[in-house]
């Protein structure tokens, strides 16, 4: 019998629609029921590709005995953290304050007015039943103690991201950056890349920032470490060597065995990272990563309307990674005489290179040159045979039961992917990348715009239901700037400006330089929070600050520039204490130190010159131009012939006709 989730838009909620638990979606009906019946609320939060969410559902939420206990004493609310990150932020903070850790599934028990009193993550069935009984008894017999817990926790949530917003002026130098870079370097894994711990997440904005520093300071040691990290991620099991695309994280320190779900937000950002890294190094393996990941995006993650789906599950047939792993016997049978070379190339063994599961997951530990020497063939022959072998395995894999697809479409994640495709287009001048980005932007324009100038966050089966949050606006503004820099079509900047002004009106905190995560049009929760930490996805405030800097330069808008400066000033003390958690902010700081080149390309052959210029990795630039344009920076720069103008700090150098001459003015 279906519960209250049968009409939900979220695939995660729909997965629970036939549980015996009487789940409700977050909304007025459930919240009013809790107050009317004076019952504790269970807010249970997860997402469709979450392995341990599935485990807890199977062990507890599908069990009639457990469900009876939950239904008797609690109003049970299911939340998809990807649709409602505002709710997730609040109760994740509560659980972290209570336990010192967090994650998903996230289970938080609240008073009928939504204030939390207890919580945790995954619980085995018997532990869960004990907690349910104990909490119900506690609330019935000690309501005053429950109220006291709620007061303290709610105060902690409301104070958790308070910053000291001073008016002190500070001059930023490379010494400012080195002050937090040196302690960060002590956490590097100089053997396997990334941080010296497990699990390992890709964290694209960490490596993007460090790549920028390496380029702008010519720090060869840092450059080598960033390259090591990118090489290890791409050769490890985090990367799907058959289908393209990256998994969410590696459970070990060698990037070998991933948590197998694939998330759109990771792959959109990793497109940017590897495209920029190709411009930086010319490494052909980075180009292959980009092309294969875009193929995966087109083949498996794109809707008929041009939107990008959210995620692929880790599990199939109830087993994590089953779709992606192989026994040696399977490979030997499929590949025949080419199996020994393939097995050596991808570290396949009889016992299995994934020892715990006695199976194999493709990863590389030896260069193609070593394989070629061992088998007495050329490197070209190795790559040809590997390509053919992968096609054979792919044909077999395509017959397997596929992991579940989370087919909701989210504005922010789609926008991150537009940016990734734009950076791929800039690196490789492949029109297919720009066309895919433009089709997705058209999808957003047709389906996620609201009549009042705002946005919707979600789309599924032709329907939208949730107001956009700050990350949706910030990521889309960023994407529109990226599209402008690929096309020089100023309508994209005008749209970016309109969205920025909407954010200014509806999200700005009057008492700080920051923007709230939720709009003033949204329902009031127990706290209205900022998003400040750069996680796997950068903080929406750091993206907005970078947007304001770029738009301020492109539009010569001093108010935008001052706002970006004020936001950065308030966060610099935090960067110094935890640099890896503020790396997108640190990129803005690096621009303040090094300055930003404003490169205008005008005239009939602007596109040819733009493409040539984009082959060079220049992290601290904006680019603009065309045959005509109305931007202030383009005033007096249309002089008939094709010219390149390099400007910085309100000063332009003499126009030149060749990209090589312009690069001499930059480097």
pLDDT per residue as tens digits for the range 374-408: 999 999 999 999 999 999 999 999 999 999 999 99
> Residue 294 contacts by C-beta under 8 Å, 6 or more apart in sequence?
244, 271, 421, 424, 432, 433, 436
Q: Which residues of 66-77 are buried (b: 16+ CB within 10 A; e: fewer)?
A: bbebbeebbbbb
Predicted local distance difference test score (pLDDT) of residue 157: 87
DSSP reduced 3-state for 35: helix
Tokens describing residue 408: 């909701």
Start-to-end Cα distance in the chain:
68
DSSP symbol at 77: E
Stretch 21-48: mean pLDDT: 96
Residue range of the domain that includes 482: 174-316+406-594
CATH number of the domain that residue 300 is part of: 1.50.10.20
Looking at the structure, tell me whether residues 505 and 653 fall in a common domain: no
DSSP reduced 3-state for 99: helix
Structural contact between residues 360 and 327, judged by C-beta atoms closer than 8 angstroms: yes
Looking at the structure, tell me whether residues 344 and 299 fall in a common domain: no
Tokens describing residue 163: 């910053």
Predicted local distance difference test score (pLDDT) of residue 640: 87
Confirm whether 556 is domain-assigned.
yes
Predicted local distance difference test score (pLDDT) of residue 170: 76
Looking at the structure, tell me whether residues 231 and 357 fall in a common domain: no
Helix (H) or strand (E) holding 553: helix 540-555
Strand order in the sheet with 651-652: 621-626, 597-602, 643-648, 651-652
For residue 43, pLDDT beyond 70: yes
Residue 650 CA to residue 614 CA, distance in Å, equals 22
Helix (H) or strand (E) holding 622: strand 621-626
Among 312-321, 481-490, 602-611, the range scoring the smallest mean pLDDT is 312-321
Residue 165 pLDDT grade (very low, low, confident, very high; cuts 50, 70, 90)? low
CA 271, distance to chain mean position in Å, is: 11
Q: Does residue 455 or residue 159 have the better pLDDT?
A: 455
Structural contact between residues 411 and 458, judged by C-beta atoms closer than 8 angstroms: yes
Over residues 85-138, the pLDDT tens digits come to 999 999 999 999 999 889 999 999 999 999 999 999 999 999 999 999 999 999
Looking at the structure, tell me whether residues 216 and 268 fall in a common domain: yes
Strand order in the sheet with 74-80: 24-25, 74-80, 40-46, 106-110, 116-120
Looking at the structure, tell me whether residues 296 and 427 fall in a common domain: yes
Helix (H) or strand (E) holding 214: helix 204-217
Residue 356 pLDDT grade (very low, low, confident, very high; cuts 50, 70, 90)? very high
CA distances to 277, 293, 457, 569, 665 from 270, in Å: 10, 9, 22, 28, 30
DSSP reduced 3-state for 309: coil
Residue 288 pLDDT grade (very low, low, confident, very high; cuts 50, 70, 90)? very high
Confirm whether 96 is domain-assigned.
yes
Residue 43 CA to residue 579 CA, distance in Å, equals 32
What's the mean per-residue pLDDT of the chain?
95
- Phi then psi dihedrals of residue 286, to 5 deg: -70, -35
For residue 641, pLDDT beyond 70: yes
Predicted local distance difference test score (pLDDT) of residue 171: 87
Residue 62 pLDDT grade (very low, low, confident, very high; cuts 50, 70, 90)? very high
Residue 297 CA to residue 436 CA, distance in Å, equals 10
Looking at the structure, tell me whether residues 517 and 445 fall in a common domain: yes
Stretch 270-283: mean pLDDT: 98
Confirm whether 167 is domain-assigned.
no
Confirm whether 89 is domain-assigned.
yes
Neighbouring CB atoms inside 10 A of 620's CB total 18
Stretch 509-531: mean pLDDT: 93
Tokens describing residue 554: 């492109």
Stretch 560-582: mean pLDDT: 95
Q: Does the bond joining 300 to the residue before it have cis omega, within 30 degrees of 0?
A: no
Among 577, 594, 611, where does a domain finish? 594
Residue 288 CA to residue 244 CA, distance in Å, equals 9
Stretch 502-531: mean pLDDT: 94
Looking at the structure, tell me whether residues 198 and 229 fall in a common domain: yes
Domain count, the chain: 4
Confirm whether 201 is domain-assigned.
yes
Looking at the structure, tell me whether residues 301 and 372 fall in a common domain: no
Among 159, 188, 222, where does a domain finish? 159
Neighbouring CB atoms inside 10 A of 369's CB total 11
Residue with tokens 């009549």: 451
Looking at the structure, tell me whether residues 543 and 566 fall in a common domain: yes
For residue 169, pLDDT beyond 80: no
Residue 54 CA to residue 47 CA, distance in Å, equals 9
Confirm whether 328 is domain-assigned.
yes
CA distances to 12, 163, 346, 651 from 320, in Å: 17, 41, 20, 57
Structural contact between residues 421 and 438, judged by C-beta atoms closer than 8 angstroms: no
Predicted local distance difference test score (pLDDT) of residue 502: 98
Tokens describing residue 416: 């991150």
Taking the CA atoms of the chain, what radius of gyration do you get in angstroms? 26
Nearest to 618 by CA among 207, 173, 211, 206: 211
Residue 440 CA to residue 528 CA, distance in Å, equals 31
Predicted local distance difference test score (pLDDT) of residue 485: 98
Predicted local distance difference test score (pLDDT) of residue 428: 98
Angle between helices 284-300 and 431-447 (to 10 degrees): 40
Stretch 412-433: mean pLDDT: 98
Name the E strands within 10-49. 24-25, 40-46
Looking at the structure, tell me whether residues 328 and 300 fall in a common domain: no
Residue 644 CA to residue 613 CA, distance in Å, equals 10
Residue 541 CA to residue 539 CA, distance in Å, equals 5
For residue 166, pLDDT beyond 70: no
Tokens describing residue 207: 């490596």
Looking at the structure, tell me whether residues 329 and 467 fall in a common domain: no
Q: Which residues of 335-352 are buried (b: 16+ CB within 10 A; e: fewer)?
A: beebbebbbebbbbeeeb
Residue 294 CA to residue 288 CA, distance in Å, equals 10
Among 399, 431, 458, where does a domain finish? 399
Looking at the structure, tell me whether residues 79 and 200 fall in a common domain: no
Structural contact between residues 553 and 598, judged by C-beta atoms closer than 8 angstroms: yes
Confirm whether 166 is domain-assigned.
no
Predicted local distance difference test score (pLDDT) of residue 51: 85
Over residues 295-349, the pLDDT tens digits come to 999 999 999 999 999 999 999 998 999 999 999 999 999 999 999 999 999 999 9
Stretch 518-537: mean pLDDT: 93
Predicted local distance difference test score (pLDDT) of residue 1: 61
Structural contact between residues 40 and 110, judged by C-beta atoms closer than 8 angstroms: yes
Predicted local distance difference test score (pLDDT) of residue 168: 56
Confirm whether 97 is domain-assigned.
yes
């Amino acid at each position: 019998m279906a519960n209250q989730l049968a009409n939900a838009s979220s695939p995660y909620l729909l997965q629970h629609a036939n549980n015996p638990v009487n789940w409700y979606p977050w909304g007025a009906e459930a919240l009013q029921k809790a107050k009317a019946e004076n019952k504790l609320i269970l807010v249970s939060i997860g997402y469709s590709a979450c392995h341990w969410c599935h485990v807890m559902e199977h062990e507890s939420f599908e069990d009639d005995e457990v469900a009876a206990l939950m239904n008797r004493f609690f109003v049970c609310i299911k939340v998809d953290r990807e649709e409602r990150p505002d709710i997730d932020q609040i109760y994740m903070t509560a659980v972290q304050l209570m336990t010192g850790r967090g994650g998903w599934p996230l289970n938080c028990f609240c008073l009928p007015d939504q204030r939390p009193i207890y919580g945790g993550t995954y619980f085995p069935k018997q532990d869960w039943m004990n907690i349910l009984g104990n909490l119900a008894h506690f609330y019935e017999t000690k309501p005053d103690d429950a109220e006291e817990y709620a007061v303290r926790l709610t105060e902690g949530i409301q104070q958790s991201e308070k910053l000291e917003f001073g008016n002190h002026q500070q001059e930023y130098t490379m010494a400012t950056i080195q002050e937090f870079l040196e302690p960060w370097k002590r956490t590097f894994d100089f053997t396997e890349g990334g941080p010296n711990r497990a699990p390992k997440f890709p964290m694209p904005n960490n490596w993007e920032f460090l790549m920028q520093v390496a380029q702008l300071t010519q720090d060869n040691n840092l450059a080598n470490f960033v390259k090591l990290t990118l090489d290890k991620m791409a050769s490890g099991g985090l990367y799907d060597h058959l289908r393209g695309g990256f998994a969410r994280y590696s459970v070990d320190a060698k990037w070998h065995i991933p948590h197998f779900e694939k998330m759109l937000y990771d792959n959109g950002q990793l497109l940017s990272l590897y495209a920029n890294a190709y411009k930086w190094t010319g490494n052909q393996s980075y180009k292959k990563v980009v092309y294969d990941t875009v193929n995966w995006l087109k083949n498996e993650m794109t809707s008929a309307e041009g939107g990008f789906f959210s995620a692929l599950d880790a599990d199939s047939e109830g087993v994590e990674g089953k779709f992606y792993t192989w026994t040696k016997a399977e490979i030997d049978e499929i590949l025949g005489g080419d199996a020994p070379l393939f097995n050596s190339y991808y570290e396949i063994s009889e016992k299995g290179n994934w020892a715990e599961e006695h199976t194999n997951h493709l990863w590389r530990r030896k260069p193609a040159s070593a394989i070629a020497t061992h088998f007495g063939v050329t490197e070209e022959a190795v790559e040809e045979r590997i390509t053919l072998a992968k096609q054979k395995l792919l044909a077999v894999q395509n017959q397997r039961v596929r992991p579940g697809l989370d087919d909701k479409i989210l504005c922010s994640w789609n926008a991150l992917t537009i940016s990734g495709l734009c950076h791929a287009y800039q690196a490789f001048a492949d029109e297919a990348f720009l066309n895919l980005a433009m089709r997705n932007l058209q999808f957003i324009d047709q389906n996620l715009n609201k009549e009042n100038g705002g946005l919707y966050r979600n789309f599924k089966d032709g329907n939208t239901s949730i107001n956009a949050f700050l990350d949706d606006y910030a990521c889309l503004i960023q994407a529109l700037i990226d599209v402008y820099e690929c096309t020089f079509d100023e309508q994209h900047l005008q749209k970016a400006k309109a969205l920025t002004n909407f954010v200014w009106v509806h999200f700005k905190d009057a008492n700080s330089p920051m923007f709230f995560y939720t709009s003033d049009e949204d329902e009031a929760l127990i706290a209205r929070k900022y998003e400040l930490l750069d996680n796997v996805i950068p903080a929406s405030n750091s993206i907005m600050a970078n947007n304001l800097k770029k738009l301020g330069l492109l539009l010569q808008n001093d108010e935008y520039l001052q706002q970006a400066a004020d936001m950065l000033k308030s966060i610099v003390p935090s960067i110094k204490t935890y640099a890896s958690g503020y790396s997108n902010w640190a990129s803005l700081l690096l621009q303040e130190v090094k300055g930003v080149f404003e490169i205008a390309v005008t005239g009939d052959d602007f596109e040819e010159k733009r493409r040539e210029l984009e082959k060079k990795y220049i992290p601290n630039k904006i680019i603009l131009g065309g045959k005509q344009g109305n931007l202030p920076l383009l005033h007096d720069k249309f002089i008939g012939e094709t010219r390149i103008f390099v400007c910085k700090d309100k000063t332009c150098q003499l126009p030149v006709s060749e990209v090589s001459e312009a690069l001499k003015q930059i480097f």
